[in-house]
Structure 1
Amino acid sequence: MSGATISVIIAIVGVGGTLASAVITQILTQRAELQRLEREERIRLAEQRTADDQRRIDQLRNCYVQMNAHDRHYRDAMLTYAYALKSGSAETDAAEVTSARRTQRDTRAEAQLIASDAVLDLESRVNAQLTIAYRRLMEATGESDSSTRQARLKQVIDLLDSIIPQLGHVRALMRVEVTASQELPDWYNPEIGLAQNQLADY
């Protein structure tokens, strides 16, 4: 093989190597850019999911704060009214019960679109007792016999007192769902509350 031929071969190999190097560099650059874009997209999606999750938690927290506050206010308004009836002066407290009942009902209607099934299930037991207490309270209001009225008011007060532990269990579950607590407390029991046949006794 002549020197000229060897020179041509070397030149071809050199040019080919240079071209191949440029192509390989371009491919590697494109691959690195694609990986960078994919990584940025994953980060963007993760940040968007985090923001969406936070918006959901904020919405849930607001809902739960309102539901907890209005359940308690409704219960407290009825209890105040029951004690006022027992003492014989209750005219001004009746309007507060009506207002608290309406607000609690509106809050529950909103919560039914937002709250988890677990919270709704547990809170519905509280609401069932509040409803029974309200009905019994209204019956006591219209009772003309003093001793019967006092007995009915005692039932209402006992029922309203029994709601406090249930409200605590609902609140504990709410706190976990809005990440205010990491886990449910040891005393949490989703079966807390009166059975339906016990509720009927009231």
Structure 2
Amino acid sequence: MSDGTISLIVASVGVLGTLLSAVITQVLAQRAEAHRSTREELARSAEQRASEDQRKIDQLRNCYAQLNANDRQYRDAMLAYAYALKSGSTDTEAAEEVSSARRAQRDTRAEAQLVASDAVLEIESRVNAQLTTAYRRLMQAAAEADSSARQAKLQRVIALLNTITEQQGHVRALMRLEVRATQALPDWYNPEIGPTAHLHDGV
């Protein structure tokens, strides 16, 4: 083989090596760019999911805060009116407070039915059932003409309203878990606690 041929082969190998090196470099760069783009897309997706998740949690927190507050206000307003009637007062302001609290609670429940979890709605519906029963009995007591009969009915209303506090505590416990205010339900939590006994006793 002549020197010219050898030189040509060496030169060709050098050129091919240079070209191959450029191709390999470009392929590696493209892969690195693809990996970077994938990582960035995954990061953006994760951020979007986290943002949407936080938005839902905030919406749920606001809803639950209103529902909890209005359930409590409704109960407290009825209790105040019951005690006013029991003392012989004809305070119309207390009666109006009950009506106002009832409307606010009803409106909040309507919103909650669109965003609250099934678990919260189920246990809160038991609270609402007790509140509804208490309201009906309170109105019956308020319309009772006989003083002794009115006192007996009011006492039953007050007893029922006092039992609602425990159930409301269970609702709040579940709400707190769902909005991530706590990591676990308390030991005393019992989702089966309900108004059955109170719904079926005498008026």
| TM exceeding 0.5 | yes
CA-based RMSD? 0.9
Q: Which amino acid aligns with 1:123?
A: E
SS in 2 for 1:190: coil
8 A contact 2:70–2:101 mirrored in 1 = yes
Query: Identity over the aligned pairs, expressed in percent?
Result: 70
1:168 corresponding residue in structure 2? 169
TM-score normalised per structure 2: 0.97
CA separation in 1, counterparts of 2:29 and 2:41? 18
How big is the shift at 1:103? 0.3
- TM-superposed CA distance for 1:92, in Å, is 2.1
Matched to 2:186, the amino acid is P
| 2:130/2:198 contact within 8 Å kept | no
Q: CA deviation at 1:146?
A: 1.0
Q: Which amino acid aligns with 1:180?
A: A
Q: Which runs of 4 or more aligned residues in structure 1 lie more than 3 Å from their structure 2 counterparts after TM superposition?
A: none
Give the CA deviation at 1:91. Answer: 2.3
Partner deviation per Cα, 1:82-101 (whole Å, 9 max, x = no partner): 00000111322100000000
State the secondary structure of the residue aligned to 1:180. coil
Q: Please name the residue that 1:132 is paired with.
A: 133
Give the Cα separation in 1 of the matches to 2:199 and 2:14: 93
Question: Aligned partner of 2:136: which letter?
Answer: R
Normalising by structure 1, we get a TM-score of 0.97
CA offset at residue 194 of structure 1?
2.5
Q: Distance in 1 between matches of 2:167 and 2:7?
A: 94
Could you say if the C-alpha distance between residues 127 and 111 of structure 1 is closer, same or farther in structure 2, counting changes exceeding 3 Å?
A: same
Q: What is the distance in 1 between the residues matched to 2:54 and 2:112? A: 18
Q: Which residue identity lines up with residue 12 of structure 1 in the other structure?
A: S
Look up the match of 2:46: 46
Q: Partner residue of 1:3?
A: 3
2:26 counterpart letter in structure 1: Q
Mapped partners of 2:70, 2:109: distance in 1: 9
Aligned AA for 2:99?
Answer: T
Q: Aligned to 2:185, what secondary structure does the other structure show?
A: coil
**Superposition pairs of residues 39-188 of structure 1, within 5 angstroms:** 39-89=39-89, 90-188=91-189
Distance 2:156 2:12 in 1: 103
Q: SS where residue 115 of structure 2 aligns?
A: coil
Q: Deviations over 1:47-105 (max 9, x none)?
A: 11111111111111100000000000000000000000001113221000000000000
Q: Which amino acid aligns with 2:121?
A: L
The one-letter code of the counterpart of 1:84 is: A
Structure 2 residues not aligned, in runs of 5+: none
Tell me, what secondary structure is at the counterpart of 1:113?
A: helix
Kindly state the Cα deviation for residue 179 of structure 1 after the two structures are TM-superposed.
0.7
- Structure 1 gap ranges (5+): none
Structure 2 Cα separation of the partners of residues 26 and 8 of structure 1: 27
Instruction: Measure, in 2, the Cα distance between the counterparts of 1:85 and 1:78.
Output: 10
Count of paired positions:
201
Q: Distance in 1 between matches of 2:65 and 2:55?
A: 15
